[in-house]
């Protein structure tokens, strides 16, 4: 247990956290960075330091570029506490973490939470069956263990990551049995409204179309405007079913990779009792912060995707800007210099964010894949609570996610609501015919990461 007060403690070693650390160190701050993984990089740059030439080739330029950041971090003089699972952050800026079975803590003058994003849940019939995984999960398998699907694989859903994975699989020689896209005409129309403000968006749209052509050229069956996705199988996944223009399609497969975007990892910000607001654009809860990313004026900041999905490059910029904001408070004498530094970054960041509304609109997940119409679909995977049961709770007077815990054990399992929270909010909102913002979210409490009673008790 450390009694020292560190200038800046950063949680998370993804683009935002690493960039914040490098920037803070360049400004003379003492930095301690805590991360769950053994090496830096977060999810997006996972394993980039030890990636083989083949992996770098398959994963592409954007991934490889992450090595520059991890390298800069390695040499910047920050303390890197790897394998640290942060299980609590208090408003007095104490961080409690578990490392190799030891329950440790550190106190900070400032904290930056950079816990990134996770894949949005995809609650459809059969989604809990073995053989159903996230596209991001499959990407992690490759980054971590060079593992590739051994049989023709089905990819389904929407979002840039889905198409990225498809490209990477093609590069790796994986056979894609089918790519089932859920983007509908109405999504293109909605997105078109934002394309004007995002010239870059046209570029991405073209990139997506080019990729679809590339897939088809490789003989991959590409289905567009798919609806009503569900997984066939009883003990394990056996195939994907969907409709397209009224016709039912079934594609047999033991491995189905689903993806419909990523959402901020808000467990720590929620546990700090920070206010969160429902974003209808991103269909998730976003922490309320000031312009610097600070919560409630308590010296705790949020940077990167966990503040709102902005992507890797923008996350890095946000990390840098947040470090500068912290430095401004620690070195008020350097205010002018820091303001100038920040102004340049602010402009750059603004440019990167132009495309977000376009992407959010284009890849908006379908309502039927967020609020399951079928009662039997499991919403809370840990406690096996279905959409129908949730709707019944609402009929019996349940007003929001916290009360579901009294009606049934929804949200009380080990994942602490990570995989069901957003769905529960929307299912209840839908059943009550009120906006999700009015329904609220689970009250998140420590421990944010699993810790045993023995570890808590100490030696």
Partner 1 sequence: MPIDTHSQNDPLFSCDDTGPDVVTVYFEDLPIPASAGSSVAAALLVYGVVVFRSTPVSAAPRAPYCMMGVCFECLVEIDGVPNCQACLTAVREGMQVRRQQGPATLPSGVKGAGDVC
Partner 2 sequence: MNSLPNPAYLQKAMAPTSMIVIGGGLLGAAIAYGASRAGASVILLDQGDIAHRASRGNFGLVWVQAKGDSAPHYARWCRDAASRWPAMAQELMTLTGIDVVLRQHGGVHFCFSDAEMEARQALLKRIDQAAGGIPFSMLDRSDVRARLPGVGPSVVGASFCPLDGHANPLKLLLALHAGMKARGVCVMSGVDVAEIRHCEAQGGFEVRSTDGRTWQAPRVVVAAGLGTTRLAQQVGLHAPLSPIRGQMLITERLQPFLPYPTEGVRQTDEGSVQLGNSFESVGADAGTTVLEIEAIAKSAVAAFPRLSSARLIRAWACLRVLTPDSLPVYEESSSCPGAFVATSHSGVSLAALHAAVIGPWMAGLRDEPVEISAFAGSRFLDPARSYSNAFLDAFANAH
Footprint of partner 1 on this chain (CB under 8 A)? 36, 38, 43, 50, 52, 54-55, 98-102, 118-119, 128-134, 136-138, 140-142, 144-151, 172, 235-236, 254-255, 265, 381-384, 413-415, 418-419, 450, 452, 454-455
SS3 of residue 307 by DSSP? helix
User: Is residue 83 near partner 2 by the rule CB under 8 A?
Assistant: no
Which of 306, 319, 318 is CA-nearest to residue 267? Answer: 306
144 or 273: CB nearest partner 1: 144
Structure-token pair, residue 362:
């284009």
146 or 184: CB nearest partner 1: 146
Do residues 9 and 322 touch, judged by C-beta distance below 8 A?
no
Residue appearing with tokens 């720590």: 268
Per CB under 8 A, the segment of 188-196, 340-348, 363-371, 412-420 that binds partner 2 is 412-420
Please give the Cα distance from 110 to 5 (Å, whole number). 9
SS3 of residue 15 by DSSP? helix
Q: Which does 277 bind (CB under 5 to 8 A by kind): partner 1, partner 2, none?
A: none
CB of 132 to partner 2, least distance (A): 23
Torsion over CA: 452, 145, 44, 368 (sign): negative
Beta strands in 14-134 (DSSP E): 31-34, 79-81, 84-89, 94-99, 102-113, 117-119, 132-134
CB of 178 to partner 1, least distance (A): 16
User: Is residue 388 near partner 2 by the rule CB under 8 A?
Assistant: no
Q: Which does 399 bind (CB under 5 to 8 A by kind): partner 2, partner 1, none?
A: partner 2
Q: Which does 273 bind (CB under 5 to 8 A by kind): partner 2, partner 1, none?
A: partner 2
Q: Which does 392 bind (CB under 5 to 8 A by kind): partner 2, partner 1, none?
A: partner 2
215, with CB counted inside 10 A (0-12, 13-18, 19+), is buried
Pairing of β 31-34 and β 5-11:
parallel
60 or 203: CB nearest partner 1: 60
User: Is residue 90 near partner 2 by the rule CB under 8 A?
Assistant: yes
**First-to-last CA distance in the chain?**
12
Residue 298 phi, psi (nearest 5) = -110, 10
96 or 260: CB nearest partner 2: 96
Structure-token pair, residue 53:
């030439």
CB of 265 to partner 1, least distance (A): 7
105 or 277: CB nearest partner 2: 105
Please give the Cα distance from 290 to 308 (Å, whole number). 13
- Bond preceding residue 447 cis, omega within 30 of 0: yes
Please give the Cα distance from 158 to 259 (Å, whole number). 6
CB of 62 to partner 2, least distance (A): 37
Which of 1, 12, 10, 17 is CA-nearest to residue 32? Answer: 10
Q: Which does 62 bind (CB under 5 to 8 A by kind): partner 1, partner 2, none?
A: none
User: Is residue 311 near partner 2 by the rule CB under 8 A?
Assistant: no
43 or 96: CB nearest partner 1: 43
36 or 360: CB nearest partner 1: 36
Residue 113 phi, psi (nearest 5) = -95, 120
Binding mask 248-277 for partner 2 (x = CB under 8 A): -------------------------x----
User: Is residue 335 near partner 2 by the rule CB under 8 A?
Assistant: no
Provide the binding-site residues for partner 2, judged by CB under 8 A: 88, 90, 94, 96, 103, 105, 273, 392, 395-397, 399-400, 403, 405-407, 409, 412-414, 416, 443, 445-447, 450-454, 456-458
């Amino acid at each position: 247990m450390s009694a020292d007060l560190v200038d800046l403690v950063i949680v998370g070693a993804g683009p935002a956290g690493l960039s914040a650390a490098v920037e803070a160190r360049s400004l003379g701050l003492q930095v301690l960075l805590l991360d769950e993984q053994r090496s830096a990089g977060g999810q997006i740059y996972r394993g980039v330091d030890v990636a083989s030439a083949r992996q770098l080739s398959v994963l592409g330029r954007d991934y490889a570029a992450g090595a520059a950041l991890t390298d800069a971090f390695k040499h910047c003089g920050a303390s890197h506490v790897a394998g640290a699972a942060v299980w609590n952050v208090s408003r007095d800026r104490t961080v409690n973490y578990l490392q190799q079975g030891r329950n440790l803590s550190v106190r900070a003058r400032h904290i930056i939470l950079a816990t990134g994003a996770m894949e949005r849940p995809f609650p459809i019939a059969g989604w809990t069956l073995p053989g159903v995984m996230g596209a991001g999960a499959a990407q992690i398998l490759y980054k971590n263990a060079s593992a590739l699907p051994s049989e023709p694989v089905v990819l389904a859903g929407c979002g840039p990551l889905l198409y990225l994975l498809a490209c990477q699989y093609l590069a790796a020689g994986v056979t894609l049995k089918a790519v089932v896209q859920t983007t509908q005409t109405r999504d293109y129309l909605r997105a078109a409204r934002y394309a004007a403000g995002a010239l870059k968006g046209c570029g991405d749209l073209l990139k997506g179309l080019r990729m679809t052509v590339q897939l088809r050229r490789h003989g991959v069956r590409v289905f567009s405007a798919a609806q009503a996705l569900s997984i066939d199988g009883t003990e394990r996944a056996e195939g994907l079913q969907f409709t397209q223009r009224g016709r039912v399609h079934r594609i047999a497969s033991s491995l189905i990779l689903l993806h419909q975007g990523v959402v901020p990892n808000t467990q720590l910000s929620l546990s700090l009792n920070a206010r969160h607001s429902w974003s209808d654009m991103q269909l998730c809860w976003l922490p309320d912060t000031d312009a610097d990313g600070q919560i409630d004026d308590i010296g705790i900041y949020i940077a990167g995707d966990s503040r709102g999905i902005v992507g890797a490059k923008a996350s890095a910029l946000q990390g840098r800007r947040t470090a500068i904001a912290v430095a401004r408070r620690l070195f008020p004498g350097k205010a002018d210099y820091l303001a100038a530094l920040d102004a340049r970054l602010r402009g750059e960041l603004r440019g990167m964010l132009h495309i977000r509304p376009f992407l959010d609109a284009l890849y908006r997940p379908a309502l039927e894949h967020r609020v399951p119409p079928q009662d039997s679909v499991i919403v809370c995977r840990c406690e096996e609570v279905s959409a129908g049961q949730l709707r019944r709770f609402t009929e019996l007077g349940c007003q929001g996610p916290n009360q579901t815990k009294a009606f049934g054990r929804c949200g009380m399992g080990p994942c602490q609501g990570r995989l069901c929270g957003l769905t529960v909010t929307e299912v209840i909102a839908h059943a009550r015919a009120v906006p999700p913002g009015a329904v609220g979210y689970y009250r998140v409490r420590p421990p944010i990461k699993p810790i045993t009673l023995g570890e808590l008790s100490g030696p």
